[in-house]
Amino acid sequence: MSQATNQSWGGRFSEPTDAFVARFTASVNFDQRLAPQDIQGSIAHATMLARVGVLTDDERDAIINGLNEIQGEIERGEFNWSVPLEDVHMNIEARLTEKIGITGKKLHTGRSRNDQVATDIRLFMRDEIDVIEVELKRLREGMIELADREAETIMPGFTHLQTAQPVTFGHHILAWQEMLARDHERLLDCRKRVNVMPLGAAALAGTTYPIDRHVTAELLGFDRPTENSLDAVSDRDFAIEFTSFASILLMHLSRMSEELVLWTSAQFNFIDLPDRFCTGSSIMPQKKNPDVPELVRGKTGRVYGHLMSLLTLMKSQPLAYNKDNQEDKEPLFDAVDTVRDCLKAFADMVPAIEPKKASMYEAARRGFSTATDLADYLVRKGVAFRDAHEIVGQSVAYGLKSEKDLSEMSLDELKQFSDTIEQDVFEVLTLEGSVAARNHIGGTAPNQVRAAAQRARETLSALKAGA
């Protein structure tokens, strides 16, 4: 360390860093979270350096043992993180040198913090993506099973949040599941570009030591080393891709949350959420609030914010590494934590949704939701669709006045609007008949919902975690 600055890079400096600047530029308070990955990367780097003859086997072993001890100190909370040492990388290296002497200083041969930090974040993201994938799978499975159970349960389907046509509850839940299936593909696609190794790019131009990047990549489980050293130290696309995945996922969870909040209200009264996912009010004793979906809906905003932060962080950076990149960590960490927690909350909650079938059925029955079925009936009897639309419109107007749903009118009442209507109309005016008639792939008929659930199960189990 330099006399003047007490810093590992202080050789060319003649005065110490300003105390505020030291705090302002330090990242250790947040990047210490990367310690396990930093140590993992350093062990692989030292192993490779010994293999190509840059370190002796004894030096390698001393480094690896020292790093493993440091890992233990960190896990036990005994490690003294130092802000003057700036970041996680220098904290660990300084402690290693304290423990094993001069050999500790050899670890940094042939690398720079620039390729080191890029490697650490990628290792971290890979670990987190694998954890997130497990939760995403669990949630999808929960939805598929709920949909299968509720394949026959009838509810109103909405457009413009107005009752449109009856659908099955299972069909509605499988619509959610489709959103998550796309998110799942996006996550796995993002993982491919995360799992590439920057180590060896050094500061920006590579290194003069005879390193073998394939060895390090293999030791760390990366698919391959990065192609270009300038790009390797400066690329954060993978972080932006993850945060876009996270934003779209949270947008989906937020839409689902909105429906759960509506459905639990007394006005809809479609479902019950078990008490363990709700809280009460300190002033209104009757209240049971759907806090979990509300919070998930609320947390969507911060994840969108992180996506904007990262895009803006990168937009004007010239090649190669810039200190700006230190700002990538906090948004990324928070996006990861938020996604993990929201998925866990949903995966626990969705299988516990209790549909109030009678109430859903009644809502579907009340809203003239089989009006399109009546029009289709008339068309099958030879009436032009536009005329059928008009006839049904008049029947609905009559129903509104007389407070009767279409299925509650007598044949004579219906015949006022068209002679074509016969006794068999009542088969299509029932909710069961309406949903069963939409009997094609992607339709809401109960047997189609069961078949779709089965296909979803198969697609899901064909996806291999970490593939």
- For ligand ARG, the closer of residues 42 and 325 by Cβ is 325
Phi, psi of 165 (to 5 degrees): -140, 155
Query: Cα(216)–Cα(35) distance, rounded to whole angstroms?
Result: 18
Kindly name the residue from 2, 8, 42, 160 that is annotated as catalytic.
160
Rule CB under 6 A: is residue 133 a binding residue for ligand ARG? no
281 tagged catalytic: yes
Please select the residue that binds ligand ARG; options are 27, 338, 369, 418, rule is CB under 6 A: 27
Q: How many CB atoms lie within 10 A of CB 401?
A: 8
Kindly name the residue from 45, 82, 214, 281 that is annotated as catalytic.
281
Q: How far is the CB of 31 from ligand ARG (least distance, A)?
A: 6
- For ligand ARG, the closer of residues 113 and 299 by Cβ is 113
Q: How far is the CB of 227 from ligand ARG (least distance, A)?
A: 21
- For ligand ARG, the closer of residues 91 and 195 by Cβ is 91
With both helix axes pointing from N to C terminus, report the angle between 113-149 and 237-264 in degrees, rounded to the nearest 10: 30
Rule CB under 6 A: is residue 444 a binding residue for ligand ARG? no
Rule CB under 6 A: is residue 87 a binding residue for ligand ARG? yes
Rule CB under 6 A: is residue 113 a binding residue for ligand ARG? yes
- For ligand ARG, the closer of residues 108 and 252 by Cβ is 108
Choices 64-72, 112-120, 297-305, 418-426 (CB under 6 A): range interacting with ligand ARG: 112-120
Please select the residue that binds ligand ARG; options are 325, 338, 395, 407, rule is CB under 6 A: 325
Q: How far is the CB of 93 from ligand ARG (least distance, A)?
A: 12
Choices 157-165, 321-329, 347-355, 440-448 (CB under 6 A): range interacting with ligand ARG: 321-329
Q: How far is the CB of 237 from ligand ARG (least distance, A)?
A: 16
| Angle (nearest 5°) at CA 291 between 287 and 294 | 125
Please select the residue that binds ligand ARG; options are 114, 153, 395, 418, rule is CB under 6 A: 114
Q: How far is the CB of 87 from ligand ARG (least distance, A)?
A: 4
CA 37 to chain CA centroid, Å, is 22
Rule CB under 6 A: is residue 117 a binding residue for ligand ARG? yes
Query: Cα(373)–Cα(369) distance, rounded to whole angstroms?
Result: 8
CA distances for 196 relative to 164, 225, 321, angstroms: 49, 6, 17
Rule CB under 6 A: is residue 140 a binding residue for ligand ARG? no
Q: Under a CB-based contact definition with an 8 Å cutoff, are residues 5 and 17 in contact?
A: yes
- For ligand ARG, the closer of residues 30 and 209 by Cβ is 30
Q: How far is the CB of 242 from ligand ARG (least distance, A)?
A: 17
- For ligand ARG, the closer of residues 114 and 257 by Cβ is 114
**Per-residue binder mask for ligand ARG (CB under 6 A), 268-307, x = binder:** ----------------------------------------
Q: Which are the contacts of 325, defined by CB distance < 8 A and separation ≥ 6?
A: 117, 234, 236, 313, 317
Q: Under a CB-based contact definition with an 8 Å cutoff, are residues 360 and 270 in contact?
A: yes
- For ligand ARG, the closer of residues 33 and 288 by Cβ is 33
Q: How far is the CB of 216 from ligand ARG (least distance, A)?
A: 18
Q: Which are the contacts of 275, defined by CB distance < 8 A and separation ≥ 6?
A: 288
Q: How far is the CB of 268 from ligand ARG (least distance, A)?
A: 48
Size of the site for ligand ARG (CB under 6 A): 10
27 tagged catalytic: no
Q: Under a CB-based contact definition with an 8 Å cutoff, are residues 201 and 217 in contact?
A: no
The burial of 316, by beta-carbon neighbours within 10 Å (0-12 exposed, 13-18 middle, 19 or more buried), is given as: exposed
Q: How far is the CB of 258 from ligand ARG (least distance, A)?
A: 37
Rule CB under 6 A: is residue 326 a binding residue for ligand ARG? yes
- For ligand ARG, the closer of residues 73 and 327 by Cβ is 327
Query: Cα(147)–Cα(296) distance, rounded to whole angstroms?
Result: 22
**Per-residue binder mask for ligand ARG (CB under 6 A), 386-405, x = binder:** --------------------
Residue least distant from ligand ARG (Cβ): 326
**Per-residue binder mask for ligand ARG (CB under 6 A), 157-196, x = binder:** ----------------------------------------
- For ligand ARG, the closer of residues 163 and 309 by Cβ is 309
Known catalytic residues are 160, 281
Binding site for ligand ARG (CB under 6 A): 27, 31, 87, 113-114, 117, 321, 323, 325-326
